[in-house]
């Protein structure tokens, strides 16, 4: 069974403990959401799993192999994919170019359009558009998610996909995650405060002050979390 295990992960920055003895097992065919107050270490944990940050101590085991010291590129080759909280802009690169880079093969426009349709973008004109400020936050988020899906990763990590997008885009993204939850054969990990995304999860992991406070199935965890609404953001968008 596909499995990712974090053993006693610790991470410090500027003499401040960000993650403190994290132990976690993620299994195949499951959709996980990590939630918790701001500053609890959620994004740092996601970056450590992807290899963007390195833990000060502890181990990351994937399929029985210690990958703690593997780089981002090496983990990508193993099937790890990551969507940043703030998508990167690429001057001079079109949406079609980016999707081709993500797939790693020469693909036809029809294939690229199929990927964009999965994230709610249906116009062929998007293929010619550059990845820059002319695209809205919601469009950039959906395109970045399309690039992650294009790689068909074993482990797909999405860091606060709802950040900086409007209500319509968020509703579309929620449907994308529902589709991922129902069809993925790997591990999906989403960092989020949003109730709608929490309600898609198979399991929810609650972080507080750099430690796992609680982990459990959706029904059980949602009741716990909503007793303390500080963990969950109201769905307000510009």
Distance separating alpha carbons of residues 81 and 152, to the nearest angstrom: 8
Pairing of strands 80-83, 65-66: unpaired
| Entry field: residues in the chain | 238
pLDDT value of position 12: 96
Pairing of strands 203-208, 30-35: parallel
Percent of the chain with pLDDT over 90: 51
Distance separating alpha carbons of residues 202 and 54, to the nearest angstrom: 27
* DSSP symbol at 110: H
* Mean of per-residue pLDDT scores for the chain: 87
pLDDT value of position 236: 42
Domains of the chain (ranges, CATH numbers): 3-85+153-231 (3.40.50.300)
CA-based angle 101:181:154, to the nearest 5?
45
Distance separating alpha carbons of residues 34 and 205, to the nearest angstrom: 5
* 24 contacts 61 by C-beta, under 8 angstroms: no
Average pLDDT over residues 10-14: 95
For 133-186, the pLDDT digits (tens) are 788 877 888 888 888 888 888 999 998 887 766 666 777 778 888 888 888 889
What's the pTM value of the predicted model, to 2 decimals?
0.85
For 91-148, the pLDDT digits (tens) are 788 999 988 888 877 788 998 998 888 888 889 999 999 888 788 877 888 888 888 8
């Amino acid at each position: 069974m596909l499995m990712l295990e974090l053993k006693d992960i610790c991470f410090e920055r500027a003499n401040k403990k960000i993650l403190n003895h994290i132990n976690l097992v993620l299994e195949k065919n499951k959709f996980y959401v990590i939630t918790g107050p701001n500053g609890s270490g959620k994004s740092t944990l996601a970056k450590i799993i992807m290899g963007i940050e390195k833990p000060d101590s502890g181990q990351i085991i994937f399929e029985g192999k210690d990958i703690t010291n593997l780089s981002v590129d090496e983990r990508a080759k193993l099937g790890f994919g990551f969507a940043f909280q703030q998508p990167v802009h690429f001057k001079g690169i079109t949406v079609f170019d980016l999707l081709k880079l993500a797939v790693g093969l020469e693909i036809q426009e029809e294939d690229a359009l199929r990927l964009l349709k999965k994230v709610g973008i249906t116009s062929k004109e998007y293929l010619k558009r550059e990845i820059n400020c002319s695209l809205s936050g919601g469009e950039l988020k959906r395109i970045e998610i399309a690039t992650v899906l294009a790689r068909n990763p074993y482990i797909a990590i999405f860091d606060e996909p709802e950040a900086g997008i409007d209500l319509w885009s968020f509703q579309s993204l929620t449907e994308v995650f529902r589709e991922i939850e129902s069809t993925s054969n790997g591990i999906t990990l989403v960092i989020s405060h949003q109730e709608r995304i929490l309600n898609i999860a198979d399991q929810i992991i609650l972080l507080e002050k750099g430690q796992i406070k609680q982990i459990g199935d959706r029904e059980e965890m949602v009741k716990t979390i909503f007793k303390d609404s500080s963990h969950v953001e109201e769905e307000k968008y510009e």
